[in-house]
Amino acid sequence: MTAWDLEEFDRHITKLNAVCTDMRTAAGTGASLGVADGLMYGILPSPLVVPILSTLNGHVDDMLAALAEANEVTRDAIKQTRADYQFAEESGVSQSKKVEDDIVATAAQIGELLS
């Protein structure tokens, strides 16, 4: 039987929260930077380079936001798995106690019949 540590689930969820926050921050920061000076690469290359970099920057921001969303879905799935596991553990303990009580009661009945 495999036993899982619920605290390990919690630690993993906390780490994923931090990663998601960092990704959302990075995506928002990249979008807010933009292009400060249209001639930052010089008079000749800037008209070609800046639009390409701006487009790439927008795609990277979108990818970071999508990756953050995917990690949030993973985090939520881990939260649900933790809740399901805790419920199964508690149900198992409860069921085990019931089986133990039934065995004790049956043994008592057998003892009465044999005496």
Q: pLDDT-based confidence at 33, cuts 50/70/90? A: low
| pLDDT (tens digit per residue) in 34-77 | 555 566 666 667 777 777 777 777 778 888 889 999 999 999 99
What distance, in Å, lies between the first and last C-alpha atoms of the chain? 39
pLDDT at res. 41: 62
Please write down the HEC assignment for all residues of the chain: CCCCCHHHHHHHHHHHHHHHHHHHHHHHHHHHHCCCCCCCCCCCCHHHHHHHHHHHHHHHHHHHHHHHHHHHHHHHHHHHHHHHHHHHHHHHHHHHHHHHHHHHHHHHHHHHHHC
* CA distance readout (Å), 7 to 14, 52, 86, 98: 10, 46, 11, 27
Q: For 70-109, how does the pLDDT look when each residue is reduced to its tens digit (9 = 90+)?
A: 999 999 999 999 998 888 888 887 777 887 888 888 888 8
Question: Where exactly are the structural domains of the chain?
Answer: 6-114
